[in-house]
Amino acid sequence: MDNITEIAFQIILYAGNGKSSAMEAIQEAKEGNFEEADRLIEEAGAELGKAHGYQTKLLQEEASGEGTSVNVILVHSQDHLMTSMTVRDLAIEIIEIYRLK
């Protein structure tokens, strides 16, 4: 497996973890467990931060002229990361709605 594919899989892994934590946070808020919901949102942010770190590494390599060819797995990892970040952002808003209910 080449380096770009390995990085893509790391992005997919951490983005998936982040999205899962954000979805769990919504369920906890729905049940009124706001302390746990907040903890899970923090966890989601940390996991997404790891994925973003791998993405940043790719961007820096590209900017320095060391870019590599793009493959479908890398494109998928970018889609997965951006979707997961959106889920986390929306989860924060949904939790606030439940908190104010």
Q: Which domains does the chain have, with CATH numbers?
A: 3-100 (1.20.58.80)
Determine contact, residues 34/70, Cβ cutoff 8 Å: no
Establish whether 76 is a catalytic residue.
yes
- The string of pLDDT tens digits covering residues 10-45 is 999 999 999 999 999 999 999 999 999 999 999 999
User: Which residues in 79-90 are b (16+ Cβ under 10 Å) and which e?
Assistant: ebbeebbebbee
Question: Global pTM?
Answer: 0.91
Rounded distance between C-alpha atoms, residue 25 and residue 30, angstroms: 9
Query: Active-site residue among 76, 78, 97, 100?
Result: 76
- The string of pLDDT tens digits covering residues 37-46 is 999 999 999 9
* 79 annotated binding-site participant: yes
SS3 101: coil
